[in-house]
Each structure stands twice: as C-alpha cells, then as structure tokens.
Structure 1
Amino acid sequence: MCDINQKAFSQGIKTYFAIVNTPYTFPGNGSSCERAEWRKKSSPTDATIATYQNKICLIEKGFRGEFSCNVKENHLLLNSAKYTDSGPYEFVCNGKKKALILDVLYAVNVHKAEMDNITLSCHAANANDVTWLYNDEKVLHYTKDGTIIPGKGYEGRVSLEKNCLKTGDLSLTITGVHKTDAGLYRCFVHDETTKGYPHTYLLHVNEKRSSPGDQTDSNCNEAHIFGIIFGTLLVILIVEVVIYLLYCLTSKLLKDQSTSATTTYHVAKSADDTTDNGSELCNTSPKNERQSMDGHPVQVSDTTENKPSTTRPFFNPSERGL
C-alpha cells in the first residue's frame, strides 16, 4: 500500500479510499457523456468494467455481481470493497481519460461518548513529519522543527505525544469529542506518502449517557416535579370541594330563611283575622238586640198554665146577677 500512495504522489494522481467490506461509488458521471467507460488498470492489459452509451449502463460479464451501475446518476458502484480491489482505475468520457487510485483500507472501529477524550494510536520509524486526516481534511500536521498546525475546527482540541518523532509514537489525542467528529481518521508520515501503523480508524460518537449520580439527580428532579404537580392538583381539588360545600350551605340557609319568613307571615295573618272577628262580636249594640227582640216575639213558657194565679180577677156584674 505504501507503493500505491508513493506512486500516486509522484505522478500527481488523486487517491481515493474505501473501507473493506463496504460499498464504494467511483467518481465519474456517465450521463454527462455520449459514451463512457470505467477501466481497471492491470497487467498485462487493462480490463473494461462497464460502459455507458445511449443512456444505458452495462456491466461487463466478468465483473457482474462485483460491480453495478447507479441508475439515477450513472456512477459505477463497487458493491463490497475487497483488498484485491485496490489499485489504479480509469474513467473515460468521450475519449477523455481521468486516472485515479483506489486504496481499500481496514479501519479500527472506535466508539466514544460526546465530550469524552480519545487517543488514536499510530507508530512509524524515522518519520520527519506526521499528518492526521479526517476523511480528506487535515486534523493536524506536525513538522520536524516542532511546528504544530491544527486543522479548522480542531484548534485547542488536538495534540501529539512529546518527542513523538523521536519515539515513533505519533498517537493523536482529541479532547471533548463532538458528534461532528465521527468519521474516518488516517495517519501519514513523509508528506502523506507513507502510512503509519495502525493507519485507519473509524470513529463513532455516541450521545453522552448520564452517570449513576446524574441518573439519581434526574430521578429526584422528576420526583420533585411530580410532587409539585400532585400537590397543586390536590390543593385545587380541596378548594373546589370547599367552594361547593359553602355553596350548598349558603343555599340551604337561604332556603330555610325563606321558609321561616313564609310561616311567620301566615301566622301573623291568622292572628290578624282572629282579632278582627272578635272586634265585630264585641261591637254588637243593645239597639240591635232590641230590634231583634221586637222583630221576633218572645214565646211564653207553657209552665205558667199550671201555676195558681195570684192576680185578682176583675168583678163582672153579670156574674152576680146584677
């Protein structure tokens, strides 16, 4: 692999990388060409992998299953990269050639939580400099005179071991990793022409998990919030019950007062009626009584017939023969 990178660097050919056992899409869009070809440069002769013409992409018989065409954009797709797929390739569009080199890498998978620190190991002997790349962007470049040039976004967050070139320990340390730091990291020496070992890391950044103490605090906070909500609802319920009871009590009192007032009124009215009747009886005059007597003759009792009369009768001369 060192030979591939050195040859690409010396010839000015751009190197692309793929991770072993993962898909890879080659550069070069066939839809922009009347006729296009993808070729693999190998000895003794080049091999055509696929052709594109009249809007049809066709994979050659010997490469079917290993390669396929991206129908939407008409790119060449390597279905699952293998080490044997490393090497030079060529894309030809309307007779114009573009060379490239594919480097198939084995990446060490690393998992870290957000804001954790991480150290990616790399070693090389007799190195004059070291360069770490994130995908195709520079993370850090360190020269023999001790100059450190961090990449954009990594200022103050990346560092190397002391006397790294002397000891051959070119390990990179990243402090406080971010979600955006996830991706492929590669270690190079000698102006990116030679790989360090291990060379490639695939960093996965996970969301930071709460510690047991944090989890306890979180549970306490949730319980506190629940207690506040429950207490508030209980107070509201009590207030509503009190208001309802007061309403019922007030309604009952008003009803009782209304009933009492009605009863008092009827009693008073009955008393007034009785008084009026008595007054009429008391105000009956003797004149009226006499009128009653005159109008209705008094009946003499029959018992006087049986009593002897004490009244002396008048003298009747006829009875004496006078």
Structure 2
Amino acid sequence: MAAGYKRDDLNLVTTEDLITLSVGDDVTLSCHLSPKVNAVYMEIRWFKGTDCIYLYENGRVIEGSGYEGRVSVNTLELKKGDVSLRLKEAKERDIGVYTCEVISEENKAARKVRWFCPKLEETEKGSLMASGSW
C-alpha cells in the first residue's frame, strides 16, 4: 500500500462533470486521484458507455477500436495522481458519458464525466442532459 492513504481513502475527482465543446476539438477529460498518490503502478481504465477505450497497466497501453492514436494519458503526470484522458479530434460519435476507473492492489475508484456538443439537435441534447443520476 502506498504511504499516506488507507485502503478506503482513494477517490477520483473531476474538475468538471459536464464538458461542452465542438466536434473536431481536442478535449481533456480531467480526473485525478484524491489524495494525490502515484498512479504509475495502478490500472487505469477509461470507458465510453460500456466500451473500454483506454487501458493503462504496468506501463502498457491498449487503445479501444476507433480511438487508436486519439486517446492518451500523460504518463509523467501519473506520479501526481493525474489520470486525465486526452481525446484528439473529437467526433460526433465520441459524445456521451465517460467513466474513469482506477484500480490499485487495495482499492478501486470510479468517476463519470459527461460530454456533449452544443451543435446537436435539441431533442438529442435534452435526452443526453436528462440521462439520469450517476
């Protein structure tokens, strides 16, 4: 167990739960561990819906289908507990709910981030924005 935190103390924190931007933009889905502990030896998973689009484990990275070359985590920032996902050249199909999951030997934490595009039709925006509790 890493020094400075107990087994049940690990949490994920986002600076924004809802992100608005346009298709074609680059976006960072901000997420970090609290307390800010070294995540280099932890397993980091990012999901869009139920599909794993990014997996980091022991320095090895697997990118999900359709996300190859477009998703990354800054591995230098992992030492500070920053597990934010960078998504390049966002496409309309990327819009949705993302979940970051971090697993250590002692603990598992998860946090969701919603992203939507303001150019969507009103009915699509309304259904996305009203997509229940999480």
More helix by share: 1
Inter-partner Cα distance in structure 2 for 1:159 and 1:169: 12
From 165, 171, 183, give the equivalent of 2:84.
171
Q: Structure 1 residue 195: deviation in Å?
A: 2.1
Output the TM-score relative to the length of structure 1.
Answer: 0.29
Match of 1:120 in 2: 29
Q: Structure 1 residue 109: deviation in Å?
A: 1.4
* Local SS of the residue matching 1:138: strand
Output the TM-score relative to the length of structure 2.
Answer: 0.66
2:117 matches 1:205: yes
CA contact (8 A) 2:55 2:63 kept: yes
From 142, 159, 165, give the equivalent of 2:56.
142
CA contact (8 A) 1:121 1:170 kept: yes
* Local SS of the residue matching 2:93: helix
* Local SS of the residue matching 1:113: coil
* Misfit runs of 4+, over 6 Å: none
Match of 2:17 in 1: 108
Match of 1:153 in 2: 66
Q: Structure 1 residue 167: deviation in Å?
A: 1.9
Q: Structure 1 residue 126: deviation in Å?
A: 4.2
CA RMSD of aligned residues (A): 2.4
Give ranges in structure 2 of 5+ residues lacking alignment: 1-7, 9-15, 120-134
Match of 1:185 in 2: 98
- Aligned length in residues: 100
Q: Structure 1 residue 147: deviation in Å?
A: 1.0
From 96, 100, 109, give the equivalent of 1:195.
109
CA contact (8 A) 2:25 2:88 kept: yes
More strand by share: 2
CA contact (8 A) 1:188 1:194 kept: yes
* Local SS of the residue matching 2:75: coil
